[in-house]
């Protein structure tokens, strides 16, 4: 599975002839879904044009440590914090030596010291420089500090020598980065099932009862979970949204269909997140033909019957019960109602949002949530649903692990 979707990669390019491969490297990283920002050293700019890198990465290229314009858009500290991974390719003997010794005398070497992110380097240099005791010692120092060293490859070199020192190919670099994220993803090996969107309950062949749920929050959760390495099932009511990468989407219409799919998948999942706005009632019978307007009465009575409560049914499973997360969209007394649902539906965690504020909730791109669980709560302030989904999953992981530990003791 190749996906760098949602990952911020800072590519540092230093002055080696292999820098000519960097536009291609950026293209591969972008194709895998990553956001890429490029930092060039002074000597790298002699090998590859900043304009080319700006065009392929879609972002301004940074070069100087003391560039007021660049610092305004993103300072060196912000760049260092922005990165989920710093990749230096090609990495010359010089940058390797600087990193091993903690020297910060230009933008890239400063970022290397300032970043909390994983650092990956793809050394490229003359074979003799690579074999030099100083370089070998510096590489060993970096590896002992958890820097991932890719390559170098052996073969013909630009200088005419033959030996180790060629930069590994861009596709190999991207593959290794992908593997790194996979191996370190918090939810690797965990299956999560998410329900999203509204359900629609048919009245006749042309009419139905539904609600305004857009599905955005559930889709954001599914996307974030997949980016964190989970195997994700997304059971979705009818919505107008694209399926996130690496998410197994199951389309349903009615609550009954959602219930059937959810029950099968929840038993195979470690975590079940019920984000769908499920219709509480459906028509007792769906008329075979279009219901006609009558002249003799001003009323039409349609008998509704209760739909199964999906999340409560899953939380009530005696065997293979996943960790169950519900949502409570409320217009008043949010905390009281949320806590009541937490208990009556036997949930492990409930996410409450106040839908009386029209800037958040149902159709908006933003949301704010308060999470409640037995004896605890956490507020996730107003932010994009994408950002919120990540924070929510972090909280879910913490609670999920805690509940496992509690069961063990
Ligand atoms: O009871 P209420 O609809 O307010 O509860 C909301 C929570 O219950 C949400 O997590 C929603 O997905 C879930 N739910 C469900 N099946 C229903 C009704 C609600 O799973 N029939």
| Domain chopping of the chain, boundaries | 8-183, 191-408
pLDDT digits (tens, 9 = 90+) for 327-358: 998 889 999 999 999 999 999 999 998 887 66
Sign of CA dihedral 14, 15, 21, 27: positive
Using the atom order of ligand 1, give the atom closest to the CA of residue 345: 8
- Our mutation pick for probing the ligand 1 site, out of 311, 328, 347, 355, counting the most ligand atoms within 8 A of Cβ, is 311
Query: What average pLDDT does range 252-269 have in this prediction?
Result: 97
- Our mutation pick for probing the ligand 1 site, out of 194, 258, 260, 276, counting the most ligand atoms within 8 A of Cβ, is 276
pLDDT digits (tens, 9 = 90+) for 149-186: 999 999 888 888 888 999 999 999 999 999 998 888 88
In the reported structure, the alpha carbon of residue 246 is separated from the centroid of ligand 1 by a whole-number distance in angstroms of: 26
Cα–Cα distance list, 135 to 18, 146, 169, 197 (Å): 18, 17, 21, 56
Query: What average pLDDT does range 205-234 have in this prediction?
Result: 94
pLDDT at 366: 82
CA 104 to chain centre: 32
Whether the predicted pLDDT of 104 surpasses 80:
yes
The three-state secondary structure class of 72 is helix
Q: How far is 400 from 394, CA to CA, in rounded Å?
A: 10
pLDDT digits (tens, 9 = 90+) for 18-65: 999 999 999 999 999 999 999 999 999 999 999 999 999 999 998 877
Sign of CA dihedral 240, 244, 250, 256: negative
pLDDT at 107: 94
Q: Which residues contact 69 (CB under 8 A, 6 or more apart)?
A: none
Query: What average pLDDT does range 70-80 have in this prediction?
Result: 78
Sign of CA dihedral 165, 171, 173, 179: negative
pLDDT at 124: 96
Q: How far is 47 from 49, CA to CA, in rounded Å?
A: 7
CB 3 within 8 A of CB 32: yes
Whether the domain at 8-183 and the domain at 191-408 fall into the same CATH topology = yes
Q: Supply 84's token pair.
A: 């989920």
DSSP 116: -
CA 386 to chain centre: 8
Confidence band for 192, pLDDT divided at 50, 70 and 90: very high
Range with lowest mean pLDDT among 132-146, 292-306, 336-350? 292-306
Which residue do the tokens 């739909």 mark?
307
Q: Is 351 in the pocket of ligand 1 (CB under 6 A)?
A: no
pLDDT at 362: 62
Q: What is the DSSP string of 285-307?
A: S--SSPPPP-SS-S-----EEEP
Query: What average pLDDT does range 193-219 have in this prediction?
Result: 96
- Residue whose Cα lies nearest atom 5 of ligand 1: it is 328
Phi then psi for residue 255, to 5 deg, are: -60, -40
Q: Is 315 in the pocket of ligand 1 (CB under 6 A)?
A: no
The three-state secondary structure class of 326 is strand
Q: What is the DSSP string of 233-270?
A: EEEE-S---PPPTTEEEEE--SHHHHHHHHHHHHTT-S
**191-408, what's its fold?**
Rossmann fold (3.40.50)
pLDDT cut 90: percent of the chain above it: 78
Q: Is 309 in the pocket of ligand 1 (CB under 6 A)?
A: yes
pLDDT at 72: 65
In the reported structure, the alpha carbon of residue 243 is separated from the centroid of ligand 1 by a whole-number distance in angstroms of: 22
Whether the predicted pLDDT of 71 surpasses 80:
no
Name the residue with higher pLDDT: 138 or 384.
138
Q: How far is 79 from 282, CA to CA, in rounded Å?
A: 52
The three-state secondary structure class of 171 is helix
Using the atom order of ligand 1, give the atom closest to the CA of residue 328: 6
Whether the predicted pLDDT of 360 surpasses 90:
no
Q: Which residues contact 150 (CB under 8 A, 6 or more apart)?
A: 89, 120, 121, 122, 168, 172, 173, 176
CB 396 within 8 A of CB 325: yes
Decide if domain 8-183 falls under CATH 3.40.50.720.
no
Q: Supply 152's token pair.
A: 């170098």
In the reported structure, the alpha carbon of residue 164 is separated from the centroid of ligand 1 by a whole-number distance in angstroms of: 61
Catalytic residues: 159
The chain-wide mean pLDDT, for the chain, equals 93
Range with lowest mean pLDDT among 57-71, 83-97, 169-183, 191-205? 57-71
The three-state secondary structure class of 334 is helix
Q: Nearest Cα to 349, choosing from 372, 377, 320, 367?
A: 372
Global pTM? 0.75
Confidence band for 255, pLDDT divided at 50, 70 and 90: very high
Using the atom order of ligand 1, give the atom closest to the CA of residue 276: 12
Which residue do the tokens 């009862």 mark?
209
pLDDT at 65: 76
């Amino acid at each position: 599975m190749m996906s760098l979707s949602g990952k911020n990669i800072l590519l540092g390019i230093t002055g080696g002839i292999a820098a000519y491969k960097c536009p291609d490297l950026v293209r591969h990283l972008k194709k895998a879904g990553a956001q890429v920002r490029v930092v060039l050293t002074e000597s790298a700019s002699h090998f590859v044009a900043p304009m080319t890198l700006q065009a392929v990465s879609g972002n301004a290229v940074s070069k100087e440590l003391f560039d007021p314009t660049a610092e305004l858009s993103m300072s060196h500290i912000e760049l260092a914090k922005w990165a989920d991974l710093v990749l230096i390719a090609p990495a010359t003997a010089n940058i390797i030596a600087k990193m091993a010794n903690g020297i910060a005398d230009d933008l890239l070497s400063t970022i290397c010291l300032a970043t909390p992110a994983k650092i990956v380097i793809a050394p490229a240099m003359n074979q003799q420089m690579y074999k030099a005791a100083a370089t070998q010692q510096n590489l060993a120092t970096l590896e002992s500090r958890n820097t991932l060293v890719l390559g170098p490859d052996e073969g013909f070199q630009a200088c005419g020598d033959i030996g180790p020192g060629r930069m590994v190919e861009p596709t190999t670099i991207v593959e290794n980065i992908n593997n790194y994220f996979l191996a370190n993803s918090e939810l690797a090996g965990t299956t999560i099932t998410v329900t999203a969107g509204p359900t629609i309950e048919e009245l006749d062949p042309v009419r139905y009862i539904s609600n305004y749920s857009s599905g955005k929050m559930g889709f954001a959760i599914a996307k974030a979970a997949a980016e964190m390495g989970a195997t994700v099932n997304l059971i979705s009511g009818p919505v107008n949204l694209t399926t996130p990468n690496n998410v197994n989407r199951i389309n349903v219409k009615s609550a009954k269909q959602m219930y059937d799919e959810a029950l099968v998948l929840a038993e195979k999942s470690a975590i079940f997140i019920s984000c769908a706005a499920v219709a509480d009632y459906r028509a007792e019978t769906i008329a075979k033909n279009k219901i006609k307007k009558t002249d003799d009465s001003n009323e039409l009575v349609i008998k509704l019957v209760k739909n199964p409560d999906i999340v409560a049914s899953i939380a009530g499973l005696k065997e293979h019960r996943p960790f169950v997360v519900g949502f409570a969209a409320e217009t008043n007394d949010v905390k009281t109602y949320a806590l009541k649902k937490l208990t009556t539906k036997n949930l492990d965690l409930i996410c409450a949002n106040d839908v009386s504020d029209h800037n958040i909730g149902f159709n908006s791109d933003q949301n704010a949530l308060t999470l409640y669980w037995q004896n605890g709560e956490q507020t996730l302030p107003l932010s994009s649903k994408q950002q919120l989904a990540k924070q929510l999953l972090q909280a879910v992981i913490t609670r999920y692990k805690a509940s496992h530990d509690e069961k063990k003791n």
